[in-house]
Chains A and B, each alone.
Chain A
């Protein structure tokens, strides 16, 4: 199983995300530079958190024009693997139109860094199947995490069970307290909370691990099925 972690100039959670995946057995993790145009080698592409291009103009607005993002679009169309966008990665995915909606300024107009209770709304996804708890303790760290979309999009997301995570206490004004959503195909997850920051018991309670374990098991299963077919 091969994971590619995209590094834009200004990305700053690349190393933390790398560490989180390195905890899993038999996973090859690589950094993918923002100029790369070929991603078909990877089973999972991660757009990590940070301040790509300084978050200038709007969060994610400049990063979405990087060459690697055209490659991500192709990757998604090919249904080759999965995409996970965390925090800034989620913002980039919405700016690129790969996930619906937008992340606007927090309702209190400030950067917020704190542990939040995150409810798992849908367990039947590649990123949540291994999660056992109902509520995860995960950090958020953003100034633009206020999820907005038009009423019909929200309705669609809710009715199609594409809202994966919800804040128990809404910290930033997000509609329906949405903290993470997926695309129609359930291949792309965008989430504001940082599961990679709570994988080690020393740094919290390890609640973030189940997100990585879920996708790991999903991919291992797919890989063994693929091998079985051969």
Chain B
């Protein structure tokens, strides 16, 4: 069993309206130290696979086909062994 963390973000250069509005409020409130805010989606799930490569292949397929739209978004995958079952 593996535990997957998939993070989906807009591609670099694509407008991120939520991040824009949140950044505006942060700056109004004086948090000037914060820059380059992005808002993404975080998916956490378990994958039942016999080895890491197989698990990764499944996660990648799902990330590409369902969790993100490759037209606008990119994804990163983190995969850990999950021994708790």
Interface residues of chain A, those whose CB is within 8 Å of chain B, are 53-54, 56-57, 62, 65
Given the interface contacts A54-B17, A56-B17, does A62 sit within 8 Å of B29 by beta carbon? Answer: no
Q: What chain B residues lie within 8 Å of A57 (beta carbons)? A: 18, 21-22, 39
Q: What chain B residues lie within 8 Å of A65 (beta carbons)? A: 25, 28-29
Complex Cα–Cα for A86 and B18 (A): 23
Q: What chain B residues lie within 8 Å of A56 (beta carbons)? A: 17-18, 21-22, 39
A-B contact sample (18 more), CB < 8 A, given A54-B18, A57-B21: A53-B21, A53-B25, A54-B17, A54-B21, A56-B17, A56-B18, A56-B21, A56-B22, A56-B39, A57-B18, A57-B22, A57-B39, A62-B21, A62-B22, A62-B25, A65-B25, A65-B28, A65-B29
CB proximity of A219 to chain B, nearest CB, Å: 33
Complex Cα–Cα for A54 and B25 (A): 12
Q: What chain A residues lie within 8 Å of B28 (beta carbons)? A: 65
Q: 20 A-B residue contacts at CB 8 Å? A: A53-B21, A53-B25, A54-B17, A54-B18, A54-B21, A56-B17, A56-B18, A56-B21, A56-B22, A56-B39, A57-B18, A57-B21, A57-B22, A57-B39, A62-B21, A62-B22, A62-B25, A65-B25, A65-B28, A65-B29
Residues of chain B in range 1-59 having any CB-CB distance to chain A below 8 Å: 17-18, 21-22, 25, 28-29, 39
Which of B17, B21, B28, B29 has the most chain A CB within a 10 Å cutoff? Answer: B21
CB proximity of B81 to chain A, nearest CB, Å: 33
Return the 8 tightest CB-CB contacts between A and B, nearest first.
A56-B18, A56-B21, A62-B25, A53-B21, A54-B21, A65-B25, A57-B22, A65-B29
Complex Cα–Cα for A54 and B24 (A): 12
Q: What chain A residues lie within 8 Å of B21 (beta carbons)? A: 53-54, 56-57, 62
Chain B residue, CB-CB nearest to A62:
B25
Complex Cα–Cα for A226 and B17 (A): 49
Q: What chain B residues lie within 8 Å of A62 (beta carbons)? A: 21-22, 25
Complex Cα–Cα for A185 and B59 (A): 53
CB proximity of B84 to chain A, nearest CB, Å: 29
Complex Cα–Cα for A65 and B17 (A): 18
Q: What chain A residues lie within 8 Å of B39 (beta carbons)? A: 56-57
Chain B residue, CB-CB nearest to A67:
B28
Chain A residue, CB-CB nearest to B18:
A56
Which of A54, A56, A57, A62 has the most chain B CB within a 10 Å cutoff? Answer: A56
Contact with A along B51-85 (1 / 0, CB 8 A): 00000000000000000000000000000000000
